[in-house]
A and B are shown apart, each in its own frame.
Chain A
Amino acid sequence: MKRLYLLLASALLVLVLLPLVLDKYLLGIFVMIFFYAYLGQSWNLLTGYSGHISLGHALYVGIGAYTSTYLAMNHNISPWIGMWVGAVLAMLVGLAIGFLGFRFGLRGVYFVILTISFAEISRLVVSHIPALGGFAGIFLDFKPSFWNFQFRGNVAYYYLSLGFMVASVGVARLLELSRAGRFMVAVREDEDAAEALGVNAFKYSMLGIALSAFMTALGGTFYANYIFYINPNSVLGMGLSIELILRPIIGGMGTALGPVLGSFLLTPLSEISRAYFARGGLEGLHLILYGILAILVVLFMREGMLVYLRRALRSLLRLES
C-alpha cells in the first residue's frame, strides 16, 4: 500500500510542476483531463459505489453551470458562492429523482430511463426560458479576476481543476473506507441481502445520489467559467451524459482511481483526434473510436482497466490493493 501512495505522490508532484514547462495548449488538454476525471468521479460515487446507473448526469452539470452563471450575470454574485448554491440545488434535484426512483422501486433500466427523462425534460424546459438564454445559450463575459472565477491563460484553471480532481479522489477514498460507503457497496451488490442485515437501502442510496449530484454541479460552475459559453445542449445534453460516463467505466467503476485513469487514457485521445480529424473534416471520428474502445473494454476488460492494471502491476511491484 505504501508503494502505491509513493507512486501517486510522485505523480502528483510531477503534475504540480508541469505548468512550468508546458504551453497553454497542452495545459488546456490537462485541464480537460482533470475536469472530466472529476465529473466521472462524481458520477462514479453514485453508479460505481451505489450501483444505481445514471445516464442523465449532465442535468447536474447544467444546474451548476446555469445557476452560478445566472447569479453572476444578474446579481453580481461571485461564482465562488454561486457554485455552492448550484450544488445545493442539484443535490435537491438529485434527492427528488432518487426519491422517485428508490421509493417506487425503479431499478436497473427503469432508473436509467428516469435519469435520462429528467435530464431531457430540463434541457427542453431551459431551452424555452429566455432568462437563461433559451436555445442559444449564454455567452459569459470575460472579466478575469479571482473573485469572478475567471483567469487569463490556463495555469490557474490547471491548478483549480487539478485540485478538484484530487479532492474527488479523496472523497471517493474516504467513502470507500467509511461505514456509509460500505453500506452503499452492500446495497449495490445485493439490496435485499443488505436490508436483511439491517442496512437502510433507501437512506444510503439517497446519500449516494445527493453526494454525486452536489459534486457534479460544482464541476458545472467550473465549466461555465472556463469555456465561457453554455447552452442547453452542451451542459444538459445526452452527449455530455455519455461523455462523462465513459472514463469511469473504462478506467474502472467503483474504484477511486478508475475515473482518473480513464480520463488520462481517453481525454488526450479525444482532444487530439478532435483537433486532428476535425481539421480534415472528419468530425465525429473520435466518437466512433470512443465507441469502439468502450465496447472492447466492456467485452474484454469488464472491470475496467484499473483492475487489470493492478493485477499486472501487482506481479511487477508487489502492490497490495
Chain B
Amino acid sequence: MMLLQVEKLEKHFGGLCAVAELSFFLEEAQILGLIGPNGAGKTTVFHCLTGFLPIDKGEVKFKGRSIKGLRPHQICRMGMARTFQIVRPFLNVSVLDNVMVGAMLREKSLAAARRLAHSTLEFVGLEGLSQERAGSLPLALRKRLELARALATRPEVLLLDEVMGGLNPTDVDEMVRLLREIHQKGVSILLIEHVMRGLMALAQRVVVINYGRKIAEGVPGEVVRDPQVVEAYLGREFLDAAG
C-alpha cells in the first residue's frame, strides 16, 4: 500500500522555483532515499510534506488523505514525524523531558508517557543521560535525541533530514543499525542523506532531485551510476573525463 503519495509537487519562493513537478511515493515498510546536490530542494520538500511550508501546486497524500493545508502538529498526529537538518533540541530541558514531549502525543497519562520516553531512550542508547540538560549534549548525541523524540510519537512514517550529517563512521554505523531496527518494527523511512555509506546501506529505493526536479529514481546501485546523477553531483567535466 502506498503510504505517502507525492504528485507533481510544486513550491515557489517569489520568482524562484524550488520544487517542480516532483512525484514519488513511499510504500509501507519501505526505506526511500531522497538525494541530490546541495540546494536541490530536498529540505524544502520535507517542509512541504510536514506542513511547514504551504504547497503551491500538486498533491500530497498520506494514508490516502490529502495533507494540503494541514498544520505540522496535525500531520504528526496522523503518523508522520520528522527530524530537522540542524538539530533542534529543547535546550533548557532534560533529555527525558525532551522525549516526553513526543511521548505525550500518544500517551495521555504522564506515567505512561514517561515509560514510553524511557523505553525510547533505551532503544537509542541515551537512557543513562536522561536527566542531563539537552543543551549539554554533543552533536552526535543530539542527533540521537532528535531521533528519539520523533520516535516517541509512534510514527508510521519517519522523515529524516541528514540524520547522519557530521557523524564519524562509528556513529554512522550505529545510526544505520538503529534505523534498520526501526524499519523492522514496521516504520517507513524517507531519508535525506549525503553520507553515502549510510544511504547505500539502508535505502531500498532512491529518488534523486536537482534544481527541484526528479532526475533519476531506482535501486541505489543503478542510480549512482546514472550519468545524469553523476553530472548533477560532480559536474559535466567529471562526466566527460570519466568517459
Identify the A interface with B (CB < 8 A).
177, 179, 182-183, 185-186, 189-190, 192-201, 254
Contacts and interface: CB of A to CB of B under 8 A. Distances in A.
B73 A198 contact: yes
Contacts of A192: 52, 72, 84, 88
Interface in B49-102: 50-52, 71-73, 76-77, 81-82, 84, 88-93, 97, 100-102
Contact of A197 (B51, B91, B101, B108): B101
Contacts, number: 72
A196 B81 contact: yes
Contacts of A196: 50, 52, 72-73, 76, 81-82, 84, 150
Contact of A183 (B82, B104, B108): B104
B44 to A, nearest CB: 15
B17 interface: no
B110 interface: yes
Contacts of A254: 92
A196 B153 CA distance: 10
Contacts of A183: 101, 104
Given A189-B93, A192-B52, A198 B88 contact: no
B76 A182 contact: no
Q: Which of A194, A196, A201, A254 has the most CB of B within 10 A?
A: A196
A193 B134 CA distance: 14
Interface residues of B, number: 29
Contact of A193 (B71, B88, B105, B153): B88
Contacts of A179: 104, 108, 110
Q: Which of A189, A199, A200 has the most CB of B within 10 A?
A: A189
Q: Which 10 A-B pairs have the closest CB atoms?
A: A189-B90, A198-B105, A198-B76, A195-B72, A193-B88, A186-B101, A197-B102, A200-B73, A195-B73, A190-B88
Contacts of B213: none
24 contacts: A177-B110, A182-B104, A183-B104, A186-B90, A186-B93, A186-B101, A190-B88, A192-B72, A193-B84, A193-B88, A193-B90, A194-B101, A195-B51, A195-B52, A195-B72, A196-B50, A196-B73, A196-B150, A197-B81, A197-B101, A197-B102, A198-B102, A199-B73, A199-B101
B214 interface: no
Given A182-B104, A183-B104, A189-B92, A197 B97 contact: no
B149 A197 contact: yes
Given A179-B108, A185-B93, A197-B150, 4 more contacts: A186-B101, A194-B101, A195-B73, A196-B81
Contacts of B92: 189, 254
A197 B76 contact: yes
B196 to A, nearest CB: 26
Nearest to A189: B90
Chain A contact residues, majority secondary structure:
helix
A274 B97 CA distance: 44
Interface in B158-206: none
B105 A197 contact: yes
A118 to B, nearest CB: 26
Nearest to B91: A189
Q: Which of A185, A193, A200 has the most CB of B within 10 A?
A: A193
B101 A182 contact: yes
B151 to A, nearest CB: 11
A201 B73 contact: yes
A301 to B, nearest CB: 15
A183 B90 CA distance: 11
Nearest to B50: A196
Nearest to A194: B101
Nearest to A186: B101
Nearest to A203: B73
A193 B81 CA distance: 11
Interface string B96-120: 0100111011001010000000000
Nearest to B155: A198
Contacts of A186: 90, 93, 101
A185 B128 CA distance: 23
A24 B84 CA distance: 59
B146 to A, nearest CB: 8
